[in-house]
Amino acid sequence: MAVDLASITGMSAPTELLIGGQWSAGRAGSLPVIDPATEDPITEVAAATAADAIDAVDAAHRALPGWAATAPRTRGECLRRAYELMIADTEALARLMVLENGKALRDARAEVTYAAEFFRWYAEEAVRIDGTVTTAPSGANRILVQYQPVGVSVLVTPWNFPAAMATRKIGPALAAGCTVVLKPAKETPLSALAVAAILAEAGVPDGVVNVLPTAAPGPVVGAMLADPRVRKLSFTGSTEVGRQLLHTAADTVTKCSMELGGNAPFLVFADADVDSAVDGAMIAKMRNGGEACTAANRFFVHEAVADEFTAKFAARLAALHVGPGLDDGTDLGPLVNADTRTKVATLVEAATRDGGRVVTGGQAPDRRGYFYTPTVIDHVPPTAGILGVEIFGPVAPIVRFTGTDEAIAMANHTEYGLVSYLYTADLRRALAVAEALEAGMVGINRGVVSDPAAPFGGVKQSGLGREGGHQGLLEFTEAKYIAVDW
């Protein structure tokens, strides 16, 4: 039974495709959006086909010359208005997000603020797309470099941060003068559609932002990547799907940015302030219920502080209130769907078979909804399978270590390299270890790194390119070099 979205959220949420400024039905009919806390459908949204995707590319392509030629200040002001509208609508957007994603309302409110900040940051960056003029080493000519918008951009986003992963791409794309087609995850299309409605209200012209929910992401994204008018793919999601899309994008040599999976280590050294490390662990593990690419996935704790850290961390996790995200007092909502819960449960069972000892949690509560209890597993052997997989849930495996080199080697023993966290009171050690860790980002005595002003991204199989900061804008540009003799 569908629910009355307007009465729960206080906003009228769009549920149709957005193509060329028109809200329209999808040629594939509709797809249900499920509330993970009840397992019931909350509404249906229009579902796009490959033909709808080409219509959206047509619209984005038509809108491109006008938007690219729009004054940077005007582009920036549209983004700034969108920031203000999002902030004004924080509560409604957060409630909508909880319904489709399940996360606790507190996390959803934080995400709306974080998501809106990308619009504010890129409103400011739109007027700072600086080129350079230099003299050629031979002295014969000048070298002019200017940054031009790359063109029509396809944006593909995951369900875990349904607003922020969209604004982290739309903000820089629009600031740079690109037009976009956004394909949100089928689990969470409502937040993406609501953000698009806000951009329209903020004055973004028709066709600059198009949105295509679909149950057939392969054909829909494939059709767009095969179209030579599409010049950019910005993808956030799993490494597995990212790899496939890099293959597909190779056929048209489309410029790619890839924000992929993570397997973050969280290192606690013997001299660390344990209480502060536990505070950091709570954020690094439990932000978004553990469903974050930046989630601490493997805890490496020095033997000297392991008992204290584990006891305190487990007590904090055991005290969390698990329940529907919209309920007052909920700290941890459900996982996004049944498959995710099964995966988490299977990993915990395997970790205990591998020799880990469950300190707290370790089961799914007996209730409707895709809930899983916060879990700490101590004495996990370094060879355990759980350490090689992105858990994407509220489960913390702890491995004990004694030597710094041993800890670094274990931390780097993964094909991922998104983020690492470390706690120590010794600045020299902190910086030396940060340099040795194979990761695009490092948090020192800090459990969160995400910031719209900072370059977010991974090394190894965690991705290509950066989002956020000035680098995030350059991803949506091409450098043009002009040789001038004057």
- Tell me whether residue 406 is one of the annotated catalytic residues: no
Conformation bin of residue 289: beta by default, left when phi > 0, alpha when psi is -120 to 50? left
Contact status: 469 vs ligand NAD (CB under 6 A): no
Least separation in angstroms between CB 14 and ligand NAD: 18
- CA 150 to chain centroid, in Å, comes to 22
* Residue pointed to by tokens 């996790």: 317
Contact status: 439 vs ligand NAD (CB under 6 A): no
Hey, CA dihedral for 289, 291, 295, 301, is it positive or negative?
A: positive
Interface map 11-40 toward ligand NAD (x if CB under 6 A): ------------------------------
354: which DSSP letter?
T
Closest among 258, 480, 285 to 377, alpha carbons compared: 285
| Secondary structure (DSSP) of 118-169 | HHHHHHHHTT----EEEE-TTSSSEEEEEEEE--EEEEE--SSSTTHHHHHH
Task: Please state, in angstroms and rounded to a whole number, the distance separating the CA atoms of residues 195 and 48.
Answer: 18
Residues whose CB falls within 8 Å of the CB of residue 144, separated by 6 or more in sequence, listed in order? 131, 132, 133, 481, 482, 483, 484
Least separation in angstroms between CB 244 and ligand NAD: 6
Least separation in angstroms between CB 462 and ligand NAD: 6
Per CB under 6 A, the list member of 43, 101, 157, 461 interacting with ligand NAD is 157
Nearer to ligand NAD, 66 or 455 (CB): 455
Contact status: 241 vs ligand NAD (CB under 6 A): yes
- Tell me whether residue 240 is one of the annotated catalytic residues: no
Least separation in angstroms between CB 249 and ligand NAD: 11
Contact status: 173 vs ligand NAD (CB under 6 A): no
Least separation in angstroms between CB 322 and ligand NAD: 21
Q: How far is CA 125 from CA 4, 66, 84, 180, 250, in A?
A: 39, 19, 17, 18, 30
Per CB under 6 A, the list member of 217, 333, 362, 447 interacting with ligand NAD is 217
Nearer to ligand NAD, 298 or 400 (CB): 298
Contact status: 370 vs ligand NAD (CB under 6 A): no
> Closest residue (Cβ) to ligand NAD?
237
Contact status: 10 vs ligand NAD (CB under 6 A): no
Q: For 104, phi and psi rounded to 5 degrees?
A: -65, 145
Amino acid letter, 378: D
Closest among 357, 286, 296 to 321, alpha carbons compared: 286
Least separation in angstroms between CB 161 and ligand NAD: 6
422: which DSSP letter?
E
Nearer to ligand NAD, 260 or 422 (CB): 260
- Is residue 280 within 8 A of residue 315, CB to CB? The reply is no
- Is residue 344 within 8 A of residue 195, CB to CB? The reply is no
- Is residue 449 within 8 A of residue 458, CB to CB? The reply is no
Interface map 218-237 toward ligand NAD (x if CB under 6 A): x--x--------------xx
Contact status: 52 vs ligand NAD (CB under 6 A): no
Per CB under 6 A, the list member of 189, 262, 393, 397 interacting with ligand NAD is 262
Contact status: 339 vs ligand NAD (CB under 6 A): no
Length of the chain in residues, anyone?
486
Contact status: 261 vs ligand NAD (CB under 6 A): yes
Nearer to ligand NAD, 156 or 208 (CB): 156
In DSSP terms, 43 is beta-bridged to 33
The token pair at 303 is 């033997």
Interface map 286-305 toward ligand NAD (x if CB under 6 A): -------x------------
The token pair at 267 is 């290192």
Beginning with the edge strand found earlier in the chain, give each strand of the sheet holding 17-19 in spatial order: 22-24, 17-19, 209-211, 180-183, 152-156, 230-236, 255-259, 463-464
Nearer to ligand NAD, 345 or 430 (CB): 345
Binding residues for ligand NAD, how many (CB under 6 A)? 28
Hey, CA dihedral for 463, 464, 469, 473, is it positive or negative?
A: negative
Residues 111, 291, 293, 475: which is the catalytic one? 293
Conformation bin of residue 29: beta by default, left when phi > 0, alpha when psi is -120 to 50? left
- Cα Dmax for the chain: 77
In DSSP terms, 332 is beta-bridged to 322
Nearer to ligand NAD, 132 or 346 (CB): 346
Of 393-422, binders to ligand NAD (CB under 6 A) are: 418
Judged by CB under 6 A, the stretch of 110-118, 260-268, 318-326, 406-414 that binds ligand NAD is: 260-268
Residues 100, 259, 291, 467: which is the catalytic one? 259
Nearer to ligand NAD, 9 or 257 (CB): 257
Least separation in angstroms between CB 170 and ligand NAD: 15
Per CB under 6 A, the list member of 38, 113, 244, 337 interacting with ligand NAD is 244
Per CB under 6 A, the list member of 160, 179, 330, 461 interacting with ligand NAD is 160
Least separation in angstroms between CB 366 and ligand NAD: 26
Rg of the chain in Å (alpha carbons): 23
Q: By CB under 6 A, name the binding residues for ligand NAD.
A: 156-161, 165, 183, 185-186, 217-218, 221, 236-238, 241, 244-245, 259-262, 293, 390, 418, 458, 463
Catalytic residues: 259, 293
